[in-house]
Amino acid sequence: MKGILISIKQEYCQQILAGTKRVEYRKSVPTKNGEKFTMIIYESRSNVKKIVGKATVEKVDSNTPQKIWDQTHAVGEIEKEKFLEYFKTKEIAYAYRLTEVVRFRNPVSLKEIGKTAPQNWTFLTEEEINKVIKLGE
């Protein structure tokens, strides 16, 4: 797998791009073998609704929600109540460890790459990732 296009709410996008949120919490994971991958960030639920940046997911931690909270809350930029509410029906929580975060100078519309907004995330090929990065520079 080369990467994913992921929908993230505006407030969390801004925290990731500012470098204060260094993990992204999710209920599922696109890979099981621990390989790092590129995360193309689509800002949803705002008037932007565009691809605004990218990050490298160095590793994905998985554990019970409480243990993930204990390990990552200092860099997760979310209130404990919201975190626990998000994972209330899950036995396993995932924390995508983010590095190499880049804010695009030119946000990219999904039409430019022939995609629709993913509900959660969708896979991207290396060619699609390179196209997004070129358009966003």
3-state secondary structure of 69: helix
Amino acid type, 58: E
**Exposed / middle / buried, residue 70 (Cβ in 10 Å: 0-12, 13-18, 19+):** exposed
What are the residue boundaries of the structural domains of the chain, listed by start?
Answer: 3-136
pLDDT of residue 45: 75
Taking the domain 3-136, which CATH number applies? Answer: 2.30.130.30
What is the full per-residue pLDDT of the chain (137 aa) written as tens digits?
Answer: 589 999 999 999 999 999 999 999 999 998 776 789 999 999 987 778 999 999 999 999 999 999 999 999 999 999 999 999 999 999 999 999 999 999 999 999 999 999 998 988 999 999 999 999 999 99
Q: Which residues make Cβ contacts (< 8 Å) with residue 47, sequence separation at least 6? A: none
E strand intervals along 27-108 = 37-44, 51-63, 93-108
Asked whether the beta carbons of 55 and 99 are under 8 A apart, the reply is yes
Closest CA to 61 of 98, 90, 89: 98
Rounded distance, CA 42 to CA 83, Å? 21
pLDDT of residue 48: 81
Residue 67: its H or E element: helix 65-72
Whether this prediction's pTM lies above 0.95 is answered by: no
pLDDT of residue 33: 67
pLDDT of residue 1: 58
Closest CA to 122 of 134, 135, 132: 132
